[in-house]
A and B are shown apart, each in its own frame.
Chain A
Amino acid sequence: MVDSVFVGLSVITIGSAILSLESRELLYGGIALAVSMLGIAGYFIILDAPFVAMFQIAVYVGAVAVLIIFTVMLVRAPNTVTKKETRKRKIAGILLGLAFLVLAGSILGNSAATQLKFNDTIPVFDVQAIGKELMTYYSPVLIVLALTLAAAVIGALTLARREDIEERNEPTN
């Protein structure tokens, strides 16, 4: 018993997830990945988590997808469909994915998780509760996470720096 919004979101999310891996052009794959992440944000809104949904849209669709699309334009791969993806590897990958799907799906279907229900009687917490958790109990985690993010961005900048241009500009003494 599922409603139509859920079915539509599922079609959009899973369809564009498959398209992001199987599209011929890498650029269209990046755009499909952004659409898939928008679908995940839609699930978050259904699940009464609007703050996380906004965070997901801001970080994934706004930052990560744009970063990936810029990298795709910058790299300009000569052949997006390589000959290394042989038929045997593809069949093995599909079998492995299906095996995981059947395994996890059957475990989920036979477990006690099928009897879990969303209880609508208890009022759902709001953004205030998340802010209180972030500022009190998880505040050291928040600080460490901020430092990690800053270090990762600085590391990425250092990795992508071109040293040969700098040497050419500076006079050698």
Chain B
Amino acid sequence: MNQPTDFLYIAVILMSIGIYGLVVKRNALRLIFSIELIANAVNLALITFSRMLPSPQGQVFVLFSIAISAAEVAVGLGIIIIAYRFYKDIDITEYKNLKN
């Protein structure tokens, strides 16, 4: 049988992959991929502790977290599409003036 630390190590590895992607990648869609990986790592840690205690509130928090990240992805993709319409590119170093 697995122990809680095994799942927590997987969550740590996923989060470090997400941090690497956030630092290195300059493609706006890849940044959204990285944010999703980090959110999934947090969900995995929450479910692990919820199974360990055991308490249903961890699962309730994960349900809320999934819904919030779905909303975040919808808004982020809308922003990417409108930025692509302005700049004809999804490279975030090209977005010099997003003020107007």
Contact = CB atoms under 8 A, between A and B. Distances in A.
Interface of A: 1-3, 6, 10, 13-14, 17-18, 20-21, 26, 29-30, 33, 36-37, 40, 43-44, 46-49, 51-52, 55-56, 59-60, 63-64, 67-68, 71-72, 74-75, 77-78, 80, 82, 84-85, 89-90, 92-94, 96-98, 100-101, 104-105, 108-109, 113-114, 116-120, 122, 124-125, 129-130, 133-134, 138, 141, 145, 148-149, 152-153, 155-157, 159-160, 162
B5 A108 contact: yes
A84 B3 contact: no
Contacts of B13: 14, 101
A97 to B, nearest CB: 4
Interface in B7-30: 7-10, 12-17, 19-21, 23-27, 29-30
Contacts of A44: 44, 47
Nearest to B21: A21
Contacts of B81: 71, 74-75, 159-160
B84 interface: yes
B64 A149 contact: no
A91 to B, nearest CB: 9
B4 A113 contact: yes
B67 interface: yes
Contacts of B17: 14, 17-18, 21, 97
B48 A47 contact: yes
Contacts of B90: 75, 77
Nearest to A134: B60
Contacts of B55: 125
A31 B5 CA distance: 29
B9 A108 contact: yes
A145 B26 CA distance: 31
A36 B41 CA distance: 11
11 contacts: A6-B2, A21-B25, A30-B33, A60-B40, A72-B29, A82-B26, A93-B23, A96-B23, A113-B4, A159-B75, A159-B81
Nearest to A153: B74
B37 A17 contact: yes
Nearest to A47: B51
Nearest to A146: B67
A82 B91 contact: yes
**Minimum-distance CB pairs A-B, first 6:** A97-B20, A152-B71, A93-B24, A156-B78, A93-B23, A159-B78
B11 to A, nearest CB: 9
